Amino acid sequence: MNKIYDFNEQNLALAAQTIQNGGLVAFPTETVYGLGADSFNAQAVAAIFAAKGRPTFNPLISHIAEIDMLSDLAVPDSRALALAKKFWPGPLTFILPRKEANSALDLVCAGLPNISIRMPNHEIALALIKLSGTPIAAPSANRSQTISPTTAQHVADSLGDKVDVILDGGACKVGVESTIIDLTTKDVVILRAGGLAKETLENFLGEKVLLSHGNPDLPTSPGQMLKHYAPKLITRINVTPDMRQPNEFYIGFGKMDCDLNLSSKSDTTEAAANLFAYMHLAEQQTNYPQIAIAPIPDEGLGLAINDRIRRASYK
Ligand code: TXA
Ligand code: MG
């Protein structure tokens, strides 16, 4: 079935409704096409990872349509606000401290205390975000390890069977991803060079901007999860129901007796959406001194889940 829709009022309404219902909408931005879902809907965000076949929960950029939406999600200082006024909408993404512990944003942030945000410079993207009434989390709309899409047809070729709606906006003007800058440190650091030049930033700020030497597509951020999510309680993984000890809070998967079930129907996408929230709950409960987690198959998002819980169980 052809998922590519022309941009008109009716199709925009369909796309916004799809976002509100937890579906996936590919949409054009000035950089590349994004694969979008409601940032506040963990199940929908998990579906993005599943559709892309991403092996880990890399944090995702939340796209907003007004500068006012920034302080709903993050704690922008005067430097961030000045940059936003100057360069938004545009191909520049900020890493900022998250506003507060809002567990609905845990998956989009991959458990990090920071959030990445940008306002895309594209009529269709802005209209979609506004009509959906929520920030839209979106990585590039391609399968993991393939080239980023700059036309609706690229998206259809790569993800046609996984996405609900592809809004067609022609070819992307910028065509490379946004420049990502870390604004949580004293110096501004570029984590990924992109659509906005370093010099342009330096001219505006009147100071040197540093360039991170990490792999731009593999920032150190996802690894920091390890620290962030090292639970305070001893955690064992791959624990089958018969192996569970009486002092363990038990997080299950599939049909079984347990304290919380990641997915009773053994759906790894549903499990991924629940994972961060359940790990928080397990840590907060006071009935058991330890945590045990049932085996999760290494299929679909199971690989990413196992990567995360392996870190969580690491002593
Ligand atoms: O131009 C773009 O930025 C496009 C369009 C769709 O907006 N999006 C995009 O997203 O390129 P994606 O997911 O393919 O790349 C975003 C990068 C990832 O490498 C991710 O690890 C990093 O940004 N990132 C996201 N949130 C982060 C955070 N809180 N801390 C550090 N890095 C982060
Ligand atoms: Mg990408």
Ligand 1 mutation target, pool 25, 49, 61, 88, most atoms within 8 A of CB: 61
83-111 average pLDDT score: 92
Protein residue closest via CA to atom 18 of ligand 1: 217
Quickly list DSSP for 76-115. --HHHHHHHHHH-SSSEEEEEEBSS--GGGTTTTTT-SEE
Token digits for 50?
């599943």
Find the 210 Cα to ligand 1 centroid distance in Å.
18
pLDDT surpassing 50 at residue 241: yes
- Name the percent of the chain lying above pLDDT 70: 94
Name the nearest CA neighbour of 309 among 164, 111, 169, 117.
Answer: 111
Average pLDDT, the chain: 90
Phi/psi of residue 112, each to 5°? -80, 155
Amino acid identity for residue 53 in this structure = G
Residue 238's pLDDT is: 97
Bigger pLDDT: 110 vs 29? 29
Q: How far is the CA of 59 from the centre of ligand 1 (A)?
A: 7
DSSP label at residue 289: S
Q: Which two tokens mark 226?
A: 């390890």
Q: What is the pLDDT of residue 114?
A: 94
The helix/strand/coil state of 292 is strand
What pLDDT band is residue 219 in, cutting at 50, 70 and 90? very low
Q: Encoding tokens for residue 247?
A: 């002092």
pTM of the prediction? 0.85
Structural domains present in the chain: 4-74+97-175 (3.90.870.10), 234-312 (3.40.50.11030)
d(CA 52, CA 77): 33
Is residue 309 a contact partner of residue 274, using CB atoms and an 8 Å limit? no
Residue 61: is its pLDDT beyond 70?
yes
Q: What is the mean pLDDT of residues 44-51?
A: 95
Residues with CB under 5 A from ligand 2 (ion): 140
Judge whether residue 203 has pLDDT over 60.
yes
Return the structure tokens found at 47. Answer: 């579906």
Report the alpha-carbon angle 21-23-27, nearest 5.
Answer: 120
Closest CA to 82 of 60, 174, 92: 92
Residues 145, 55: Cα–Cα separation, whole Å: 10
- Confidence at residue 147, expressed as pLDDT on a 0 to 100 scale: 82
Mean pLDDT of 102-111: 87
